[in-house]
Amino acid sequence: LKKINHGGVTTPLGYQSSAICADIKGNKSGKKDFGILVSDVPAVVSATFTKNKVKAAPVIYDIQLLSEKSEFFGIVINSGNANACTGKLGLENTKRICSEFENRLQIDNKSLLMASTGVIGVQLPVNKMLKYVNEIVNELDDTDDNLAEAILTTDTVIKKSAYLVETENGAFVVGGIAKGAGMIAPDMATMLAFITTDALVNKDIQDEVLRLAVEESFNSITVDGDMSTNDSVFLFSNGMSGISVNHGENLELFKEAVKAVCLDLAQMIVRDGEGATKFVTINIKNAKSYEDAKKCAFKIANSPLCKTMFFGSDPNWGRLMATIGSSLIDFDEDKVDIYFDNLKYVENGLLISEDLEDKAYEIMKKDSFSITIDLKIGTFSKTVYTCDLSYDYVKINADYRT
């Protein structure tokens, strides 16, 4: 597995992208907000979507198409408008935009998917958008910075990752781009990720590889515990490297590469969380079940009291204990050990020494640190990634539309 500098969604063979500013928000910001990712040949697509019961029109559209067929030429993407809570017209607009691209690209009907992100409850400015289809298609090339930029909302940096994988028969590549920022939570809050590969893989195997990678990456991060109407992760494989990854060693390498890209993108999303100043890794160890470990980790990662404590660099272990308790998992207060990075701070439910406070404070002042909670009553563990809760989170979200 070799990390590719500046690698992204068009790094694997046979992918092109393009994006422009269609002024979808209508505020003449000049920011790119509309684009497309296409494969030169049909690609097998796997995807996972938000569990929110309110699903955006493009999510409903994609789920329907993916139930009908498994190969697609690409995906149309816009930011600035989520096309959620937009009723039948919202669904028709999705279809209309995809059709226009399909006609222009001279590919079959229903061979493009769509993803949207942005404000909820406002119809897409379709007529305005359709005027840009020609320009977008004309500008297709094998770079992806424009598209990586066009999918952002309150994100502050583009998010890209790619790995080259050498096998006995040759090499394949897995790459991706993502957007995140606020509303990131388990089961994928407002986040979009697009992963591509030139490996050759069957639909069933690819579905399972994506499911596992998402559980360990995008479903193991949280910014504020909210879950959006639009979250989606797509994995496209076009087989253009000629390397099959359906079996044995190659399958293991493929799993590893997809997970590495997903984890890179997921961690970049947390680091760029709305107002985030710190990246915090929460390790729960030796819980009675995986569900308990996960529940406890997310309870801490989403607790406003814990998150403001991270912001304030305050090693207030009592808040951690209270939060473990409020997660209602099985545990024994008198067995809990707590570490800040490698510093053991609490043993068997009690502070080891007040003298350690300064050391713990120094660790928490860093822009990245870990908290490990060893429950010592089982064998199951879970790691989640989160950020702190700062003044800027409030500022960004109080002023989102104004």
Contact status: 215 vs a second copy (CB under 8 A)? no
Please tell me which residue in 48, 154, 190, 222 is annotated as part of the active site: 190
Kindly identify the residues of this chain, within the stretch 255-314, that bind a second copy according to CB under 8 A.
303-305, 308-309, 311-312, 314
SS (H, E, C) the chain: CEECCCCCCCCCCCEEEEEECCCCCCCCCCCCCEEEEEEEEEEEEEEEECCCCCCCHHHHHHHHHHHHCCEEEEEEEEEEECCCCCHHHHHHHHHHHHHHHHHHHCCCCCCEEEEEEEECCCCCCHHHHHCCHHHHHHCCECCCHHHHHHCCCCCCCCEEEEEEEEECCEEEEEEEEEECCCCCCCCCCCCEEEEEECCECCHHHHHHHHHHHHHHCHHHEECCCCCCCCCEEEEEECCCCCCECCCHHHHHHHHHHHHHHHHHHHHHHHHCCCCCCCEEEEEEEEECCHHHHHHHHHHHHHCHHHHHHHHCCCCCHHHHHHHHHHCCCCCCHHHCEEEECCEEEEECCEECCHHHHHHHHHHHHCCEEEEEEECCCCCEEEEEEEECCCHHHHHHHHCCCC
Contact status: 41 vs a second copy (CB under 8 A)? no
Please identify which residue in 3, 6, 51, 69 interacts with a second copy, judged by CB under 8 A.
51
Nearer to a second copy, 7 or 118 (CB): 118
Nearer to a second copy, 5 or 402 (CB): 402
190 is catalytic: yes
Query: What is the spatial distance between Cα 249 and Cα 4, in angstroms, rounded to a whole number?
Result: 21
Please identify which residue in 20, 105, 120, 126 interacts with a second copy, judged by CB under 8 A.
120
Nearer to a second copy, 73 or 340 (CB): 340
Nearer to a second copy, 41 or 54 (CB): 54
Two tokens, residue 35 = 């684009």
Query: What is the spatial distance between Cα 28 and Cα 17, in angstroms, rounded to a whole number?
Result: 23
Nearer to a second copy, 24 or 240 (CB): 24
- At its nearest, how many Å lie between a second copy and the CB of residue 263? 24
Nearer to a second copy, 323 or 372 (CB): 323
Nearer to a second copy, 152 or 309 (CB): 309
Amino acid at 312: G
- By rule CB under 8 A, what string of x and - marks binding of each residue 220-249 to a second copy? ----xxxxxx--------------------
Contact status: 49 vs a second copy (CB under 8 A)? no
Kindly identify the residues of this chain, within the stretch 87-106, that bind a second copy according to CB under 8 A.
87
Contact status: 319 vs a second copy (CB under 8 A)? yes
Kindly identify the residues of this chain, within the stretch 125-164, that bind a second copy according to CB under 8 A.
none
Amino acid at 121: G
- At its nearest, how many Å lie between a second copy and the CB of residue 313? 8
Contact status: 391 vs a second copy (CB under 8 A)? yes
Contact status: 110 vs a second copy (CB under 8 A)? no
Contact status: 390 vs a second copy (CB under 8 A)? yes
- At its nearest, how many Å lie between a second copy and the CB of residue 373? 13
Residues at the site binding a second copy, with contacts judged by CB under 8 A: 51-55, 82, 84-87, 119-122, 182-183, 224-229, 303-305, 308-309, 311-312, 314, 316-319, 321-326, 328-329, 331, 333-334, 349-351, 389-391, 393-395, 397-402
Which residues carry out catalysis? 190
